Amino acid sequence: MAEGTIFNIQRFCVNDGPGIRTTVFLKGCPLNCLWCHNPESKSPNPELFFNPEKCVGCRRCEAACPESCHSFGEGGHIFDRGACTVCGRCAAVCPEGALEIVGRRVSTKEVMAEVLRDRVFYSSSGGGLTLSGGEPLYQNDFSLELLKMAKENGLHTCVETSGFVTQEKIIKIAAYTDIFLYDCKETDPVRHKEFTGVSNTQIIDNLFCVDKMGAGIILRCPIIPGYNDRQEHFNNIAGLAEKLVNIREIEIEPYHPLGLSKAFFLGKEYVPEKVESPAEETVSGWIRTISTHTKVPVKRA
């Protein structure tokens, strides 16, 4: 029985594939996207959220921490993250949720028990299990076993992926995946490396590989104002979609700043801190632009 690290299991999802779904969010990602909206998913290890606005100064964390990471003074609650071993003792005694462990080790059996609780809703809606992250293929053995178990239980399966993984691994995953929610972050390889830390060459190769295997594809395109909201990228998204046999649709994901606060809670830097969410008319314009160059349906995610 495989074990992995997840940071959330979200039930009754309607935006992570067809029907009503349960989405399992796995920790760990090989990319370093500047605009990451789940910064808590980057590290494969459990991490500690610290939200100082929730702190009421009860000082229970100070007494519980074996490394003396928490102290209180004129500046309020001071947290020495560098000394923290993420033991979780402070989070366990925090009454207001100012301290929270993000990430936990679980077995595939535990996850499937949670997923199967809503089996009746999957049957009536055409839903099922979705693996997301992070990058679910970063924990390939764990994800593969989950997908196999889902298929043994007759569930529809989706995998949200960046596609940055060896072709050998994605071929194994594709055998148990009905639809890939496949990220298209940037179509220019130089810009892709600048924005995510890796080239998109392997990602594109894998996209055509799973398409050739017959897996359904929903192309998910995060659009970040000032980064990839340019005509050439929109044209290339449409061109890429036209080459895919099994593509279902293109989903445009407008930037939102949720990652900014979460990065702050983790003590991490967040580069596009001054980027604002685009207006709805702007997003509609992006969709119209891409739609003029492809027959594939384009919609807002």
Q: What is the pLDDT of residues 215-269, one digit of tens each?
A: 999 999 999 999 999 999 999 999 999 999 999 999 999 999 889 999 999 999 8
Query: DSSP state, 169?
Result: H
Alpha-carbon distance of 195 to 32, in angstroms, equals 8
> Among all chains, which residue has been given the structure tokens 């649709």?
249
Q: What is the pLDDT of residues 247-261, one digit of tens each?
A: 999 999 999 988 999
- Return the percentage of the chain with pLDDT > 90, whole number: 96
CATH code of the region 47-102? 3.30.70.20
| pLDDT (0 to 100) of residue 155 | 98
For 250, what's the count of Cα atoms within 13 Å in the CB-facing half-sphere? 31
> Among all chains, which residue has been given the structure tokens 């994605």?
170
Topology adopted by domain 3-44+105-300: TIM Barrel (3.20.20)
Burial (CB < 10 A; 0-12, 13-18, 19+), residue 50, is buried
pLDDT in tens, the chain (301 residues): 899 999 999 999 999 999 999 999 999 999 999 999 999 999 999 999 999 999 999 999 999 999 999 999 988 999 999 999 999 999 999 999 999 999 999 999 999 999 999 999 999 999 999 999 999 999 999 999 999 999 999 999 999 999 999 999 999 999 999 999 999 999 999 999 999 999 999 999 999 999 999 999 999 999 999 999 999 999 999 999 999 999 999 999 999 988 999 999 999 988 777 788 999 999 999 999 999 999 999 999 9
Q: How far is CA 67 from the centre of its chain?
A: 32
Residue ranges of the chain assigned to CATH 3.30.70.20: 47-102
β-pair type (216-223, 298-300): unpaired
| pLDDT (0 to 100) of residue 173 | 98
